[in-house]
Amino acid sequence: MKTIFKSLLAITVLSLVLSSCGNGGSEKGSQGALSSSAAEKVYVAPGEHDEFYAFVSGGFSGQLAVYGLPSGRLFKVIPVFSVDAEKAYGFNEETKPMLNTSHGFIPWDDSHHPDISQTAGELDGRYVFINGNNTPRIAKIDLTTFETTEIIEIPNSAGNHSSSFVTENTEYVVAGTRFSVPYPQKDMPIDEYKGNFKGALTFIAVDPKDGAMDIKFQIMMPGFNYDLSHPGRGDSHGWFFFTTYNTEEANSLLEVNASQNDKDFIAAINWKKIEEYVNNGGGTKAPAKYAHNVYDEETHAATTTMKDEIVIVNPSDVPGAIYFMPTPKSPHGCDVDPSGEYIVGSGKLAAELTIHSFSKMIKAIDEKKFDGDAYGIPILQYEATLAGSVKQPGLGPLHTEFDGKGNAYTTFFISSEVVKWKLGTWEVIDRKPTYYSVGHLMIPGGNSRKPFGKYVLAMNKITKDRYIPTGPEVTQSAQLYDISGDKMELLLDFPTIGEPHYAAGIPASILEANSKKIFKLEESKHKYVTKSEAEAKVVRDGNEVHIYMTMIRSHFAPDNIEGVQVGDKVYFHVTNLEQDYDVPHGIAMIGANTSELLIMPGQTETFIWEPKQIGVWPFYCTDFCSALHQEMQGYVRVSPKGSNVPLTYTLDGDAVDAE
């Protein structure tokens, strides 16, 4: 994705020269001084809370950042697809399984499109889903703990980009492949791509009770690139729409060879029909290897299950379920308005935005207004589904969101602006520059039946001179616009983590009350939990030493341990006994080849230390927990291998012999 944007940039200069609508979008002068009212609109006084949560993906950081709007303050970076030494995510024994895949443990991915779960087409605030682009995966973050609790790998997919969007009642979270690949994977010449590579569109069922994900079926589509997608809603509920590019099926120098066709497609998929087909025994059970990682809040630990089968649906086996709507020039964004009637295709190389009508699409299907087919999938006549187009809106349209008041907002990467236009009349109402090269934009609930159309957040790939410089690598950014009036007003410009690829926003009032404060110690089912200091102990099992340790203001129990030997594998199973809000403790051991642990009240985490040198080695609390934080420490005495120093441990001088 990044590469594409970067290469598109190369033609930015040219475009600006040629552009008839290059209306000074990036003129320095137009930035001006912000009016004081803009400052007031984003000022959230100390101790006050923001009105919205914004879950902004970290792009190539692999994580998901939590910001407040309108302040733009960063509250948390939720580790999802990349290890995070700060939180021990992917380092401690409990979360390592979260990053397992069929390719083994992968410490990184590229996180792209967060989407919040919905009920009846409205944000319900239970979960946020996000896709890993590189090694295809979908993650689920629980919005009571703001932690990643499930990751499912998507087999037969590559460049998991038209993901992870949810249907109106979170029946499915959908993952589409950007890169088509041989199916099944095999050793074959790349130039035999055409006709042989396939594009898998995956429908992952979400359990309405506990949110558990399970791949229901995978549609094996022609070998195009499936770029973005969105579900139908309202009347179009039951359908899913995917933009495609490279319908040329080129395999080399795509920037040229995949830009030849005048029109690519938006694939309209009647998933209800396919679901029914699969429920009636349709589809082929095919071998597939993929990991399903689940973090259990009761055991405070994740497990990996390797799955070996998937249901494959061949489009030609379900006639009437899939159609192609021709859409000009490599459409990127595929956005459905709150009513579900309009499907906006942003031909990123086109001079206009194309809007399809769902009702016209159904009519065209009924009247069989076809214009041939592609691999047996009917192509609808362009004019038959067309609702209208926004003429000369800007250059390089990418994504559209909606305010629920009949307006749409589209980003233009090349002309670096957000354009507001009216649904139905297709007239441009306003345009505002972004600094610079905007990708996605986000209105809280802007892709649901009920948008909260007060702000739009534009996410920029490039900032150049916008902030104090930090060497060659400078931050990317997000910009907040007030959209409550006729004209948009730029309010705030703030830096982000990684690449702020896309975001999902939700009123804070929906989430705040559900946010957990502590984990109840009594309810912990962690295998190595220590529920009181009296239960703390050290146990040797061959060359493994298991330390059942507790932490509470401001000491560890036990704090001194003797009898550990060089070559031992020492497990620190550490339980935070606190039951008070915002009293985490940390622990780090000198020379341990891993990260610290940062343990929330009532939680147990484990790290492994393999001492290599004799001596007396300290460990300490890494989170400034209390006035006596500096006193929160302990020692481990390491003796030579085979030493007869007995295994003992103490707290306040009372030595206890280990079992």
Torsion of Cα atoms, 237 then 243 then 248 then 251, to 10°: -120
Which CB, 351 or 518, lies closer to another protein? Answer: 518
Q: Which stretch binds another protein (CB under 8 A): 224-232, 423-431, 435-443, 576-584?
A: 576-584
Report whether 387 contacts 356 (CB < 8 A).
yes
Subset of residues 500 to 519 that bind another protein, contact rule: CB under 8 A: 518
The minimum distance between CB 553 and another protein, in angstroms, equals 6
Binding window for another protein (CB under 8 A); candidates: 138-146, 321-329, 574-582, 632-640: 574-582
User: Distance between CA atoms of 145 and 503, rounded to whole angstroms?
Assistant: 19
Angle at 15 between CA 13 and CA 20, to 5 degrees: 130
Measured from the CB atom, the residue of 140 and 555 that comes closer to another protein is 555
Token pair 């940390």 is found at 586
Q: Which stretch binds another protein (CB under 8 A): 58-66, 327-335, 528-536, 579-587?
A: 579-587
Q: At its nearest, how many Å lie between another protein and the CB of residue 300?
A: 18
The residue assigned the tokens 């995510």 is 89
What does the alpha-carbon distance between residue 151 and residue 81 come to, in Å, rounded to a whole number?
Answer: 9
Q: Which stretch binds another protein (CB under 8 A): 257-265, 317-325, 378-386, 575-583?
A: 575-583
Q: How far is CA 330 from the centre of its chain?
A: 24
Residue span 19-48 as binding mask against another protein, x where in contact by CB under 8 A, dash where not: ------------------------------
DSSP codes of every residue in 587-637: EEETT-SS--EEE-TT-EEEEEE---S-EEEEEE--S--STTGGG-EEEEE
Provide Rg for the chain, Cα atoms.
27
Binds another protein (CB under 8 A): choice among 627, 644, 653, 659: 627
| Count of residues of this chain found to bind another protein when the rule CB under 8 A is applied | 9
Per rule CB under 8 A, is residue 557 in the interface with another protein?
Answer: no
Distance CA 314, CA 470 (A): 51
- The CB-side HSE value for 243 (13 A sphere, CA atoms) comes to 29
Whether the CA torsion 63, 68, 69, 71 is positive or negative: it is: negative
Compute the least distance from the CB of residue 580 to another protein, in Å.
5
Considering beta carbons, is residue 153 or 578 the nearer one to another protein? 578
Q: Rule CB under 8 A: say whether 579 interacts with another protein.
A: yes
User: Least distance in Å: CB of 574 to another protein?
Assistant: 18
Instruction: Show Cβ contacts of residue 541 under 8 Å, excluding neighbours closer than 6 positions.
Output: none
Residues 381 and 177: their CA atoms lie apart, in Å, by: 25
Residue 276: CB atoms within 10 A of its CB come to: 13
Q: Which is nearer to another protein, 16 or 518 (CB)?
A: 518
Residue 34 or 518 having the CB closest to another protein? 518
Q: Considering the complex, what minimum distance in angstroms separates the CB of residue 526 from another protein? A: 19
**What are 463's strand-pairing partners?**
none
Using the structure block, give the residue that is written with the tokens 């009647």.
270
Residue 359 in contact with another protein, rule: CB under 8 A: no
Nearer to another protein, 145 or 579 (CB): 579
Using the rule CB under 8 A, give the single segment among 68-76, 313-321, 499-507, 578-586 that binds another protein.
578-586
DSSP string, 258-305: TS-SSEEEEEEEEHHHHHHHHHTT-SEEEEEEEEEEEEETTTTEEEEE
The distance of closest approach from Cβ of residue 362 to another protein in the complex, given in angstroms and rounded to an integer, is 54
Exposure b/e, 74-88, CB count within 10 A at least 16 = b:
beebbbbbbbbeebb
Provide the 3-class DSSP secondary structure of residue 394. coil
Please identify, using beta-carbon distances, which residue of 207 and 631 lies nearer to another protein.
631
List residues bridging with 525 in a β-sheet: none
Question: E-strand spans in 17-59?
Answer: 52-57
Structure-token pair, residue 533: 């200091």
Query: Residue 368 or 517: which CB sits closer to another protein?
Result: 517
Nearer to another protein, 590 or 628 (CB): 628
Give the footprint of another protein on residues 169-208 (CB under 8 A): none
Q: How far is the CB of 416 from another protein (least distance, A)?
A: 43
- When the beta carbons of 515 and 543 are compared against another protein, the nearer one is 515
What's the closest the beta carbon of residue 522 comes to another protein, in angstroms?
11
Whether the CB-CB separation of 625 and 554 falls below 8 Å is answered with: yes
Residue 628 in the binding site for another protein (CB under 8 A): yes
Residues 6+ apart with CB under 8 A from 462: 9, 436, 437, 476
Per CB under 8 A, the list member of 369, 450, 531, 553 interacting with another protein is 553
| Stretch touching another protein by CB under 8 A, among 171-179, 443-451, 573-581, 640-648 | 573-581
Nearer to another protein, 479 or 550 (CB): 550
Q: Which stretch binds another protein (CB under 8 A): 66-74, 564-572, 577-585, 640-648?
A: 577-585
Q: Which helix (H) or strand (E) holds 510?
A: helix 508-511
Q: Which is nearer to another protein, 306 or 628 (CB)?
A: 628
Least Å distance, CB 95 to another protein, is 26
Contact criterion met (CB below 8 Å) for 543 and 638: no
The yes or no reply on residue 580 touching another protein (CB under 8 A) is: yes
Give me the 515-544 binding string for another protein, x by CB under 8 A, dash otherwise: ---x--------------------------
Residue type, 128: V
> 308 or 580: whose CB is closer to another protein?
580
Q: Catalog residues that contact another protein under the rule CB under 8 A.
A: 518, 552-553, 578-581, 627-628
